Amino acid sequence: MAKKLHIQTYGCQMNVYDSERIAEVLAPLGYVLSDTSEDADMVILNTCHIREKAAEKVYSKLGRLRKQKEKKEQTGGRMILGVTGCVAQAEGSEVLRRAPYVDMVFGPQTYHRLPEMVAKASRANGHVLDTDFPEDNKFDSLPKTRTAEGATAYLSIQEGCDKFCTYCVVPYTRGAEYSRPTAQVLDEARALIKAGVSEITLLGQNVNAYHGENEDGSTCTLADLVRKVATLDGLDRIRYLTSYPAEMTDDLILAHAEVTELMPYLHLPIQAGSDQVLKAMNRQHTVAEYKLIVEKLRKAVPGIALSSDFIVGFPGETDADFEETMALVEEMRFIQAYSFKYSSRPGTPAALLESQDLYRVPEALKAERLARLQALLNANTLAFNKQAVGQTYPVLLDRTGKTPGMLVGRSPYMQAVVVKAEDHLLNTLQNVLITEAGPNSLNGELVETLHRALA
Ligand code: SAH
Ligand code: SF4
Ligand code: F3S
């Protein structure tokens, strides 16, 4: 009989990918995904450790799940509770101490061993703790076939980070940079296309640092890989996330100009607009170097859109530093951005600075800076959305809308576009005339059938 599996995913796209793979690993054991944790036979929290709030969320969620688990036990059933992701990796034994009713704690690098962990957890009342960085690579053991929900999918090609930005936990939770072999990536891309995917987003914590091994032993860069992926039949769109500015090579910029499948949109986090702050963050680029990359990109692909990430209130950030961030945002016109107040993470170098009054930016000032920055970023997003009105965009319709008869898709620039369209157009690429724009989405009308149906 099918067992119900509920996976709740927090954090970044890499976690989304991992959750999908976890479901694929558990499917042969009879687990079928369920939208709710209510009455589930297994619940897995795939967690994020990036900011304090993100990590704390997990414990409150576990408190609520405990009640559901007890209820299930009272009726003679069993709910296996698992915690994975970056909180599990960073503080595995702490999870078991604070939530001893959790059955399995495992890191992002060990979920290929889930069948053994589940067997152990089902037998005894003992806990399983597996937060190794194992010798056997998970990617070598994961199922070769892929399932896909719709036309768009993530594909992790690179994991881990060697950059050690002073505020960041990722190098500790995900380990050293690792690139999957090129042939393995291409096989998985083919498996996704076979499962109905026409847009692939290549993922990595430092995706543009990708240096996979080709079958002849030579090195494959991200630019090379994008070119190879673009030759696969049935694929319309390629994206990649997240890039580190200092790893943006001229060859990758050239690929943007040459590979038509590569979308004219790039997420390129800068974090701050002041060289002094970037240095304290151990970012290996200056503001001028970042601007030069953007200049080259805009030359290679006129109209390329950029998005970014920002941290405000990094220890030691002065008013003048922050004004430089505002000036940079004013100049760069990011179409979208994530911005956060600096959050002190245990064990990171910046946490030592934050613990000293001299460096710490008061909470109220962090909040004020964040509000000002977000107002500017949001205004830029809205302006970019508004200039779309009257233009025709190719839109990959990959979801049904809230109201019947409507489909929702993504523009080349990742804007959500809502269109009146019949269900048979779901998961197809369509030309859409943009008629209205708001801060979070666009409305449009179908223009004509782009391809496929015409062909
Ligand atoms: N690898 C990516 C992003 C990783 S984390 C990169 O290098 O850009 C995603 C974002 O979270 C970061 O870009 C940063 O803006 C934010 N972030 C990371 N650590 C943080 C911290 N301690 N406090 C606040 N924001 C943080
Ligand atoms: Fe974190 Fe910096 Fe690595 Fe990004 S590049 S994951 S921000 S350490
Ligand atoms: Fe969070 Fe880990 Fe991703 S800390 S942002 S889930 S790599």
Q: Is the CB of 334 under 6 A from ligand 1?
A: no
Note whether residue 136 is domain-resident.
no
Contacts of 279 (CB under 8 A, 6+ apart): none
CATH code of 15's domain: 3.40.50.12160
Q: What is the pLDDT along the chain (455 residues), one digit of tens a residue?
A: 799 999 999 999 999 999 999 999 999 999 999 999 999 999 999 999 999 999 899 999 999 999 999 999 999 999 999 999 999 999 999 999 999 999 999 999 999 999 999 999 988 677 888 898 888 899 999 999 999 989 999 999 999 999 999 999 999 999 999 999 999 999 999 999 999 999 999 999 999 999 999 999 999 999 999 999 999 999 999 999 999 999 999 999 999 999 999 999 999 999 999 999 999 999 999 999 999 999 999 999 999 999 999 999 999 999 999 999 999 999 999 999 999 999 999 999 999 999 999 999 999 999 999 999 999 999 999 999 999 999 999 999 999 999 999 999 999 999 999 999 999 999 999 999 999 999 999 999 999 654 554 44
Q: 69, 96, 130 — which closes off a domain?
A: 130
For ligand 1, the distance from its centroid to the CA atom of residue 169, given in whole angstroms, is 9
Task: Give percent helix, percent strand, percent coil of the chain, each to the nearest 5.
Answer: 40, 25, 35
Cα torsion 384, 229, 298, 334 to 10°: value is 30
Q: Which atom of ligand 3 is nearest to the CA of 169?
A: 4
With CA atoms as reference, report the closest residue to 169 among 216, 108, 243, 214: 108
Residues 367 and 445 occupy one common structural domain = no
CA of 282 to the centre of ligand 2 (A): 10
- In terms of Cβ atoms closer than 10 Å to its own Cβ (0-12, 13-18, 19+), residue 402 is exposed
**Count of positions (residues) in the chain:** 455
Residue 389 CB coordination number (10 Å): 14
β-pair type (428-437, 441-449): antiparallel
**Does any domain span residue 137?**
no
CATH of the domain at 344: 3.30.750.200
The residue from 98, 130, 162 where one domain ends is: 130
Q: Where are the beta strands (DSSP E) in 142-281?
A: 152-156, 158-159, 178-179, 199-203, 211-213, 219-221, 237-241, 265-267
Rounded to two decimals, what is the model's pTM?
Answer: 0.95
The CATH number of the domain holding residue 430 is: 2.40.50.140
Ligand 1 centroid vs 27 CA: distance in angstroms? Answer: 33
- Domain co-membership, 401 together with 441: yes
Tell the residue nearest (CA) to atom 5 of ligand 2: 163
CB 360 within 8 A of CB 68: no
Cβ–Cβ under 8 Å, residues 189 and 233: no
Among residues 334, 357, 387, the one where a domain terminates is 387
Contact 272, 311 (CB under 8 A): yes
Task: Specify whether the CB–CB gap between 21 and 58 falls below 8 A.
Answer: no
Residues 221 and 315 in one domain: no
Answer yes or no: is the C-beta of 311 below 6 A from any ligand 2 atom.
no
Whether the link from the prior residue into 221 is cis, omega within 30° of 0, is no
Expressed in angstroms and rounded, the spacing between residue 441 Cα and the centre of ligand 3 is 26
Residues 378 and 437 in one domain: no
Q: Best of 8, 9, 10, 15 to mutate for ligand 3, by most ligand atoms within 8 A of CB?
A: 15
How many structural domains compose the chain?
A: 4
Contact 400, 407 (CB under 8 A): yes
For residues 150 and 259, membership in a common domain is answered with yes
List, in order, residues 6 or more apart from 141 with CB less than 8 Å away. 112
Whether residue 240 is found in the same domain as residue 278? no
- CB-based contact 309:253 (threshold 8 Å): no
- 189 is in which domain, residue-wise? 144-263
Work out the number of other CB atoms within 10 angstroms of the CB of residue 284.
Answer: 15
Angle, vertex CA 194, rays to CA 192 and CA 195, nearest 5: 65
